[in-house]
């Protein structure tokens, strides 16, 4: 079971905050939708936080990863740091101008904004690696 959960097939690993605010849930929803659309694969951040070695090793080995945090607290980033996983592409939703609140009625335009920011960040990192 862990094997299939940890496999990335060379695709972009997506690690998303899913915290108790709109931006946490926007992070997670964008990750789900990007996975459904074939742009990367959502991965279990909780497995890394739980110090499950298979999850940590997969995160260390993946060629491309995007970490999405809802706000400047950076819980997803801190989870990776605690596990010794190097941060690659990083997106913070409040840096996109999305205000953090407790409104869980997610707006379609914000989900699309987040997805586009993630895609642009990943493309920018691919271009840097090619240089």
Digit-coded pLDDT (tens) for 97-118: 999 999 999 999 999 999 999 9
Residue range of the domain that includes 31: 18-99+106-130
Establish if 24 belongs to a structural domain: yes
Establish if 117 belongs to a structural domain: yes
Establish if 6 belongs to a structural domain: no
**pLDDT tens, position by position, 64-101:** 999 999 999 999 999 999 999 999 899 999 999 999 99
- How many structural domains does the chain have? 1
Q: What is the CA radius of gyration of the chain?
A: 14
Establish if 46 belongs to a structural domain: yes
What's this model's pTM, rounded to 2 decimal places? 0.86
Closest alpha carbon to 118 in 91, 80, 86: 91
The token pair that represents 60 in the structure block: 């260390």
Establish if 122 belongs to a structural domain: yes
Instruction: Flag whether pLDDT at 1 surpasses 70.
Output: no
Q: How confident is the model at residue 126 (pLDDT cuts 50, 70, 90)?
A: low
Establish if 1 belongs to a structural domain: no
Where do runs of H (alpha helix) occur along 37-95? 45-49, 53-61, 75-83
Mean pLDDT of the chain: 89
The token pair that represents 131 in the structure block: 């240089």
> What is the pLDDT, as a whole number, of residue 127?
57
The token pair that represents 58 in the structure block: 């997969």
Instruction: Flag whether pLDDT at 131 surpasses 50.
Output: no
Instruction: Flag whether pLDDT at 10 surpasses 50.
Output: no
Establish if 4 belongs to a structural domain: no
């Amino acid at each position: 079971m862990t094997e299939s959960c940890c496999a990335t097939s060379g695709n972009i690993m997506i690690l998303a905050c899913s915290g108790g605010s709109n931006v946490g849930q926007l992070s997670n929803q964008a990750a789900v939708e990007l996975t459904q659309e074939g742009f990367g694969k959502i991965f279990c951040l909780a497995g890394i936080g739980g110090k499950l070695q298979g999850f940590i090793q997969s995160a260390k080995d993946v060629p491309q990863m995007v970490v999405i945090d809802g706000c400047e607290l950076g819980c997803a980033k801190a989870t990776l740091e605690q596990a010794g996983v190097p941060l690659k592409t990083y997106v913070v939703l409040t840096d996109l101008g999305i205000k953090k609140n407790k409104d869980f009625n997610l707006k379609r335009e914000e989900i699309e904004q987040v997805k586009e920011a993630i895609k642009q960040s990943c493309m920018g990192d691919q271009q840097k690696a090619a240089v």
